[in-house]
Amino acid sequence: MAKLIVEKSAPLKGTVKVSGAKNSVLPIIAASLLAQETCVLEEIPGLKDVEVICEVLESIGAKVNSSKKGIIEIHSSTLEHFEAPYELIRKMRASFLVMGPLLARKGRARIALPGGCAIGTRPIDLHLKGFQALGARIELGHGYVEAVADKLIGNKIYLDFPSVGATENIMMAATMAEGITMIENAAEEPEIVDLANFLNSLGAKIKGAGTDTIKIQGVKELKGSKHTVIPDRIEAGTFMIAAAITGGDVTILNALPDHLKPIIAKLRECGVTVEEYDEHVRVKANGQVMATDIKTLPYPGFPTDMQAQFMSLLTVASGTSVVIETVFENRFMHVDELKRMGANIKIEGRSAVVQGVDGLQGAQVKATDLRAGAALILAGMIAEGKTEISDIHHIDRGYVEIEEKLRGLGAKITRTKDE
């Protein structure tokens, strides 16, 4: 299997451009199933996950044209099937996001249960609770969940936790339900706002996205539209840490400071300079990084998807940091790998206590999940010697041309070919 080889690099310098957001594009592609006319999506990142969701759409009967780089055209006027098989759901949990649109379009959806993954058990109870509240009957069996509804009817739905996926799935299902749906304790992530903006461009009537209460007035039909996906705030955050950890000075283009508030605040607490502009940020290191504490929370709190990368930075900070993971119950898989590189980290329940060390050493390590993989690249750039990262298919799920982009900033990183 291919590996990434990372060597100790000079301070990163220069400019890098962030791609469209993975976590926006996946629900938006799923939402295209709701449209009777063509949808044209722009700023599409060339990611493995995007290929998988397009395969899911095609398996349902949508026509997907991705011949132009960065643009996808989707035609969903006729949908032949209402089922997404295990082979596709297994590849990517976010495939489950086709359930809401299929239920709205076909009155029926049969989707393989996604199951857990390296970062937690990741149940879908809140998605199902929402569909039931809209009038769907839910049946579970043989590893599949089936939802059926002659007609969806708007309702008030309170989410026990502001789940991103549940908010998206319910919002999509409700676009064509009869009457008004209110989602309370909804997720407030920028990707929810992007999805709502896309749905509204198709003719949906959604208000309040980006707050904890989303109101959806059902409409009869959705048309087509053209939409540009927002920048990936997690990719931007990863480059920000890359600048900070190597003692560099990097300008990150296509990065919205408004979406990066907790990352900017925490980097400043570490003593790093962050300059904010309309659509870019500049990150400049100022010598030794200082320890700080982090607690992951739903947006606008510190994102769980940046926890592993920030921890890499804290491994070499002066002093002791505490990192608390509250969103996923098992998102510390990178800790053992960082410890193999000489980090001093102790896990106590949902907290990791990171005692800064003078330096890291290169080692053979494994990307246990997407962001764990990104964290190891960051650690590899400051470690003495060579770091060899295996299982990099996880990294390719969420980062476009990561080694080319980092090399453009002066990093020493190469990919070995598949054996």
Ligand X SMILES: C=C(OP(=O)(O)O)C(=O)O
Cβ(19)–Cβ(235) below 8 Å: yes
Q: Which residues contact 301 (CB under 8 A, 6 or more apart)?
A: 262, 295
Nearer to ligand X (CB atom), residue 9 or residue 23: 23
Restricting to residues 338-357, which ones interact with ligand X according to CB under 6 A? none
Q: Is 293 annotated as a binding residue?
A: no
From the list 166, 186, 192, 289, which residue makes contact with ligand UD1 (rule: CB under 6 A)?
A: 166
Picked from ligand UD1, ligand X, none, the partner binding residue 371 (CB below 5 to 8 A depending on kind) is ligand X
Give the 3-state secondary structure of residue 256.
Answer: coil
- Residue 178's DSSP bridge partners are 153
Tokens standing for residue 13 = 């310098």
Closest CA to 148 of 129, 165, 135, 133: 135
Picked from ligand X, ligand UD1, none, the partner binding residue 331 (CB below 5 to 8 A depending on kind) is none
Cβ(250)–Cβ(243) below 8 Å: yes
Picked from ligand X, ligand UD1, none, the partner binding residue 339 (CB below 5 to 8 A depending on kind) is none
Q: Is 395 annotated as a binding residue?
A: no
Is residue 124 near ligand UD1 by the rule CB under 6 A?
Answer: yes
Is residue 122 near ligand UD1 by the rule CB under 6 A?
Answer: yes
Tokens standing for residue 156 = 């008030």
User: Shortest distance, CB of residue 173 to ligand UD1, whole angstroms?
Assistant: 14
Is residue 44 near ligand UD1 by the rule CB under 6 A?
Answer: no
Give the number of other CB atoms < 10 A from CB of residue 209: 26
Is residue 295 near ligand UD1 by the rule CB under 6 A?
Answer: no
Restricting to residues 85-124, which ones interact with ligand X according to CB under 6 A? 93-94, 119
From the list 44, 172, 370, 376, which residue makes contact with ligand X (rule: CB under 6 A)?
A: 370
Picked from ligand X, ligand UD1, none, the partner binding residue 284 (CB below 5 to 8 A depending on kind) is none
Picked from ligand UD1, ligand X, none, the partner binding residue 50 (CB below 5 to 8 A depending on kind) is none
From the list 46, 85, 115, 123, which residue makes contact with ligand UD1 (rule: CB under 6 A)?
A: 123
Residue 272 to residue 288: CA distance in whole angstroms: 9
User: Shortest distance, CB of residue 273 to ligand X, whole angstroms?
Assistant: 27
Is residue 126 near ligand UD1 by the rule CB under 6 A?
Answer: yes
User: Shortest distance, CB of residue 233 to ligand UD1, whole angstroms?
Assistant: 11
- Residue 222's DSSP bridge partners are 35
Selecting among 39, 54, 117, 270, the annotated active-site residue is 117
From the list 10, 87, 161, 404, which residue makes contact with ligand UD1 (rule: CB under 6 A)?
A: 161
Restricting to residues 372-411, which ones interact with ligand X according to CB under 6 A? 398
Give the rounded distance of the alpha carbon of 323 from its chain centre.
Answer: 20
Is residue 337 near ligand X by the rule CB under 6 A?
Answer: no
Restricting to residues 317-336, which ones interact with ligand UD1 according to CB under 6 A? 327-328
Nearer to ligand X (CB atom), residue 342 or residue 398: 398
- Residue 205's DSSP bridge partners are 217
Give φ, ψ of 318 to 5 degrees.
-85, 115
Strand order in the sheet with 4-7: 364-366, 386-390, 4-7, 412-415
Q: Is 270 tagged catalytic?
A: no
Is residue 381 within a helix (H) or strand (E), and if so which, with residue range?
none
Query: Terminus-to-terminus CA distance in the chain, angstroms?
Result: 6
Cβ(158)–Cβ(213) below 8 Å: no
Closest CA to 385 of 339, 342, 334: 342
The span of 51-59, 121-129, 216-224, 408-416 binding ligand UD1 (CB under 6 A) equals: 121-129
Picked from ligand X, ligand UD1, none, the partner binding residue 398 (CB below 5 to 8 A depending on kind) is ligand X
From the DSSP assignment, how many helices (H) and strands (E) are in the chain? 14, 24
Nearer to ligand X (CB atom), residue 48 or residue 339: 48
Q: Is 25 annotated as a binding residue?
A: no
Closest CA to 31 of 174, 235, 177, 234: 174
Report DSSP letters for 23-68, one per residue.
HHHHHHHHHGGGBSS-EEEES----HHHHHHHHHHHHHT-EEE--S
Residue positions counted in the chain: 419
Is residue 232 near ligand X by the rule CB under 6 A?
Answer: no
Q: What residues are annotated to the active site?
A: 117
Residues lying near ligand X in the complex (CB under 6 A) are found at 93-94, 119, 305, 370-371, 398
Binding residues for phosphoenolpyruvate, as ranges, are 22-23
Q: Which residues bind ligand UD1 (CB under 6 A)?
A: 23, 26, 94, 120, 122-127, 161, 163-166, 187, 304-305, 327-328
- Could you tell me which residues are annotated as the binding site for UDP-N-acetyl-alpha-D-glucosamine? 93, 122-126, 305, 327
